[in-house]
Amino acid sequence: MATMFPGRHFSFPRLAIVIVSIIAIISGSALWLAYTRTASQKLPSAWFGGYADVTATPSYAFESDVGSQYANVILGFVTAKNGTCTPAWGGYGLDEASRSLDLDSRIAQTQRTGRNVTISFGGQAGGELARYCSTSEKLANAYFSVVSRYHVDSVDFDLEGANLSGDTAAELRRVEAIATLVRKSAAKGIDLSVTLTLPVGQQGLTNDGEATVESFLTHHIELSTLNLMTMDYNVPSSTTPQSDLIMKSLNAAHDQYRELLYTHGHLFDGTQVWQLMGATVLIGRNDTANEYFTLDDAQTLNTFAQKTSLGQLSMWSLNRDRQCGDNYGSIATLLTFCSSMKQNDGQYAAILSATFTGSPGTIVPFDENRKTSGNGDSADPYPQWSDTEKYLQGSKVVWKGNIYQALSTNTGIKPTQSTPGTDSPWRIIGPVL
């Protein structure tokens, strides 16, 4: 019988080439699939989310909002029902809120359209659960009952007024419970994003606010965002635009937060700290007399946020993002359903959300601590001292393995040459770890 391919013989080299080619094709395909899967993942980035007051009258249909500015919504507020360790939306228990406000189905509808829902605990009115749950275990269970009921992976703790100060036992229960909540959520496959919302003044965080951040860090709670309530400065807007006050307070809080993070071993650079921060504004008329957050302020703040790489922008509230009717033009108090400003519906959200297209999550993981040598490495937490640089009061530098802070504006004075005392232009903070 004639051979099928006369003159051809079996060849090991040819076989090897074929096998190598097949492996290369398979490996290339696998790498491409891995690449496309990675590329399609939604990476954390700066985000905008407006607060919605779910119990306010008239009711606000947050579930019906359409547009990129509504991709994230923060629902407030979950408090303690009638002074007990039972979660409630204002005066509505969770079951009652489902019946009377149709809240369960409205949240589910929002999520079905691909939007992200954050649940906020606390707020200005009502008692936060930590004040009424007798143990951190009961408190953690109360928090988790809300997370699991509404199938959310993002929570916010809005602490102000009596919920922020005066009850150290409640503060301890809160941080212990939140740490447990994060672990409990992780065990259920929920990567929970935690935001801490605190008031600020022109000088940054209050003493109570700093102590609260310190407590969260001490209990190893990874904050996705330190969100600051930049409002109610009690300065007439005719004297100073509110956006100027907001930027001043954010810059001050940035320095405070960076130092707090540093003392806990989180050696982030300035941009990373901004990414870990957020700002919430009170649109239109504020609680304080003659103080307004205008549309121009919104544009100024959005520009500032982009330049600094601020991680989050929010506003109180979506309910108010519309012009008041003619019947309310002369009312000199804050209204829950309009801004008291001349505007188009949704105009504040549209301005503030520009370029903030991400969703709640940790932009800078806390475990990305920057190891430093203090010898001028690029990873140093602050810039190396320079004899030509003008250092303003409060500036921080690295010199000879230590961190120094300027006590007064100076140029050309080495930190190690200054004489300790009240007139010294520098003070040592400590070694670079």
Superfamily of domain 47-352: Glycosidases (3.20.20.80)
- Is the four-CA dihedral 384, 228, 195, 42 of positive or negative sign? negative
Mean residue pLDDT of the chain comes to 88
Residue owning tokens 């003619």: 326
Give the model's confidence band at 424: pLDDT under 50 very low, under 70 low, under 90 confident, else very high: confident
pLDDT at 21: 56
Phi, psi for 352 (deg, rounded to 5): -65, -30
Query: If you write DSSP's letter for every residue of 198-237 in order, what string do you get?
Result: EEEETTEE-HHHHHHHHHHHHTT---SEEEEEE------T
**Token pair belonging to 163:** 């919920």
Per-residue pLDDT tens over the stretch 246-257: 999 999 999 999
CATH class of 371-433: mainly beta
Percent of the chain with pLDDT over 90: 68
pLDDT at 243: 98
Inter-residue contact 328 to 285 (CB < 8 Å): no
The residue that leads in pLDDT, 422 or 314, is 314
Where exactly are the structural domains of the chain?
Answer: 47-352, 371-433
Asked whether residue 229 carries a pLDDT value surpassing 70, the answer given is yes
pLDDT at 36: 32
pLDDT at 312: 98
Question: Which residue from 233, 238, 268, 225 is spatially nearest to 372, judged by alpha carbons?
Answer: 268
Asked whether residue 367 carries a pLDDT value surpassing 60, the answer given is yes
The whole-number average pLDDT for the span 11-19 is 57
Asked whether residue 41 carries a pLDDT value surpassing 50, the answer given is no
Per-residue pLDDT tens over the stretch 170-197: 999 999 999 999 999 999 999 999 999 9
Cα(263)–Cα(251) distance, integer angstroms: 19
Per-residue pLDDT tens over the stretch 113-136: 999 999 999 999 889 999 999 999
Per-residue pLDDT tens over the stretch 133-160: 999 999 999 999 999 999 999 999 999 9
Asked whether residue 40 carries a pLDDT value surpassing 50, the answer given is no
pLDDT at 417: 78
> Model pTM?
0.79
Per-residue pLDDT tens over the stretch 372-409: 445 555 556 778 888 888 887 778 888 888 888 888 88
**Token pair belonging to 400:** 């000879």
Task: Indicate if 371-433 has the same CATH topology as 47-352.
Answer: no
Among 145-154, 171-180, 286-295, 414-423, the range scoring the smallest mean pLDDT is 414-423
Asked whether residue 308 carries a pLDDT value surpassing 90, the answer given is yes
Asked whether residue 333 carries a pLDDT value surpassing 70, the answer given is yes
pLDDT at 10: 52
Provide the angle, in degrees to the nearest 10, between the axes of the packed helices 207-218 and 168-187.
40
User: Which alpha helices (H) appear in 131-267, and where do they start and end?
Assistant: 136-150, 168-187, 207-218, 242-263
Asked whether residue 311 carries a pLDDT value surpassing 90, the answer given is yes
- Is the four-CA dihedral 221, 226, 229, 235 of positive or negative sign? positive
Per-residue pLDDT tens over the stretch 16-31: 555 655 554 444 444 3
**In a 3-state reduction of DSSP, which class is residue 401?**
coil
Among 188-197, 366-375, 419-428, the range scoring the smallest mean pLDDT is 366-375
In DSSP terms, 117 is beta-bridged to: 73
Asked whether residue 102 carries a pLDDT value surpassing 90, the answer given is yes
pLDDT at 75: 98
Asked whether residue 267 carries a pLDDT value surpassing 90, the answer given is no
Q: How far is CA 420 from CA 129, 202, 395, 425, in A?
A: 48, 30, 17, 9
Asked whether residue 4 carries a pLDDT value surpassing 60, the answer given is no
Query: If you write DSSP's letter for every residue of 51-82 in order, what string do you get?
Result: EEETT-SS---GGG--SGGGSEEEEEEEEEGG
